[in-house]
Amino acid sequence: MTQQNLLLGQTFETRGNPFETPWQDAISINSAGAVLIENGHIRAVGDAETLRKKHPLAQMHDYGPHLICPGFVDAHVHYPQTAIIASWGKQLIDWLNTYTFPEETRFSDPEYAREIAARYLDLALGHGTTTMCSYATIHSESVDAFFHAAQDRKLRTVAGKTCMDRNAPEGLRDTAQSAYDDSKRLLNRWHGKARAQYAITPRFSPTSTPDQLAALGALWSEHPDCLMQTHLSEQLPEIEWVRGLFPQARDYLDTYEHHGLLGPMGVYGHAIHLTQREIDRLAETGAALVHCPTSNSFIGSGLMDVMGLAKRGIPLGLATDTGGGSSFSMLRTMAAAYEIAQLRGVALHPAQLMWLATAGSARSLHLQDNIGNLAPRFEADLTILDLASTPAIAQRSQRATDIWEALFPTIMMGDDRAIADVWIAGRKHMPK
């Protein structure tokens, strides 16, 4: 007989997009809810008492007042930058040259790649993240290491070989042809295998020649079911650099579009300093943008207009951007998203922040039918939040007049101590 697990607690339930409809209509929390898990998937979500009576043989896991949520989905990370997270005092281009590129050269060593992949995934899991979309390095070994480590942990992941054939150190450059060949080989090896998805990955226009961008655009046209991830309009000096490298382009986005790298399966990180034409084209094509708030503040990039872009119907995800981002925690990332929105005159509701970190990010990665929601048939990746994980949070949440006021202190002050449990593909995760 198939083992069933019944998780009891407060359940975070999503019915819609809280940026498109009132959050009260899109999101709710059942204070006496339950989630029934069977064969790695969610079989039922509902009232605890009802599900207990219907499934008396299920193994009970009573989480009391803890909040049962979909596992967090981190839509833009660089796992090879794990060891250099929180490096001091540089903006984007200097940060790449001083910290990122020297570290990424080490990933030609398969053993080192395996070590950092395992370290990153364990740190992310410890913070309640159950799916992530990661850049690797130019080395095929770095992609294999990441997917093997994710497979060992039964995780749903997205990743791709980072492609660069200019403006990078020797040892971190490929060519247009090798980028195509290596990416195609890795795509065929990993895409759709177990819980792995491949993403075609030019780092960004300044580090790819037009020939390489065109080669990757051709590869994407051959495999349109793959994601394509890259960076867009992160910092003003970067945009000036792009303008000098691509003088015929209408704007930064056009450097991708001209080479076949704009489409509904495109995922563009940062997108802070967009022109109106770029916003219009992103909205027309259905491409997704990913908000990286801790990174944007840490290296001084700017303030993404989350609400304005959401009103255009552009799919939005949320991400730590490890290691330009200064935390592995999606809770901290939600807090930073709230703070950045405040600086733009908008107070995002806790329901909107939680949606960005779960269903919103899943949607940006075209995984909205698999993860990011507590609903029947979804994969059973869950994060259990302790809403009184520290004395500071507990004393504030005790004064709350409703569940949202009780949840908000965990969003703003929570860390890995707030992660009471993590479930992956229907099994309780046991940290190594």
Q: Is 72-364 CATH 3.20.20.140? A: yes
- pTM for this structure? 0.97
365-404 CB burial, b ≥16 within 10 A, e <16: bbbbebbbbbbeebbbbbbbbbbbbbeebeebbeeeeebb
Residue 184 neighbours by CB distance under 10 Å: 16
Q: Do 4-71+372-428 and 72-364 fold alike per CATH?
A: no
pLDDT of 1: 58
Residue whose C-alpha is closest to residue 283's, from 293, 291, 275? 275
Rounded average pLDDT per 10-residue block, the chain, 432 residues: 91 97 97 97 98 96 98 98 90 86 94 98 98 98 98 98 96 97 98 97 98 98 98 97 97 98 98 98 98 95 97 98 94 98 97 98 98 98 98 96 97 98 96 74
99-119 CB burial, b ≥16 within 10 A, e <16: bbbebbbbbbeeebbbbbbbe
CA distance 150 to 72: 15
Domains of the chain, by residue range, sit at 4-71+372-428, 72-364
Helix, coil or strand: residue 44: strand
Beta partners for residue 428, in sequence order:
423
Reported as half-sphere exposure (CB side, CA atoms, 13 A), residue 348 has a value of 28
Q: Kindly report the CATH number that applies to the domain delimited by 4-71+372-428.
A: 2.30.40.10
Determine the residue type at 118. A
Contacts of 271 (CB under 8 A, 6+ apart): 232, 233, 282, 289, 290, 304, 309
Determine the residue type at 284. E
Is the Cβ–Cβ distance between 381 and 71 less than 8 Å? Answer: yes
The torsion of the CA quartet 150, 265, 273, 78, rounded to 10 degrees, works out to 10
